[in-house]
């Protein structure tokens, strides 16, 4: 399991983040990002993962994020300010299963590599 700091991930361009995540997950690593991806990066990650799936080699990814804490001010609510996700957990679909998720907790089962 690799814990990736916000500093490291913020220094990468969007495509570099996506490529890094896919490469690491293909190696069987589970990544915990201190600060999650923005919606466009998440969409690109899903798109690229779907094209990389090979049944015997790469089964895809499992990804869960805490929602952003958001802007609780009246202006934030009116303009629906969208921030990045908070902590994000990403891993191989055949090793990481989300059991429960709410605003402040992600429970996951991690199994050995297959």
Tokens at 36, concatenated: 């999650």
Tokens at 28, concatenated: 């069987």
What is the tens place of the pLDDT at every residue in 68-98?
655 555 555 555 555 556 788 888 888 888 7
Residues 101 and 98: their CA atoms lie apart, in Å, by: 7
Query: Domain segments of the chain: what residues?
Result: 2-110
Tokens at 24, concatenated: 């690491």
Let me know if domain 2-110 sits in CATH 3.40.91. Answer: no
Whole-number mean pLDDT of the chain?
80
Give the CA count within 13 Å in the CB-facing half-sphere of 32: 8
Least confident among 1-10, 12-21, 54-63: 54-63
Answer with the residue of higher pLDDT: 13 or 69: 13
């Amino acid at each position: 399991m690799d814990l990736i700091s916000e500093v490291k991930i913020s220094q990468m361009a969007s495509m570099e983040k996506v490529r890094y995540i896919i490469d690491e997950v293909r190696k069987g690593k589970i990544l915990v990002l201190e600060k999650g991806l923005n919606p466009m990066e998440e969409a690109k990650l899903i798109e690229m993962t779907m094209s990389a799936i090979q049944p015997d080699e790469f089964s895809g990814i499992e990804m869960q994020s805490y929602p952003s804490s958001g802007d609780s001010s009246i202006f934030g609510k009116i303009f629906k300010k969208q921030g990045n996700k908070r902590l994000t957990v990403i891993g191989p679909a055949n090793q990481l299963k989300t059991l429960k998720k709410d605003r402040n907790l992600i429970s996951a089962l991690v199994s050995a590599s297959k």
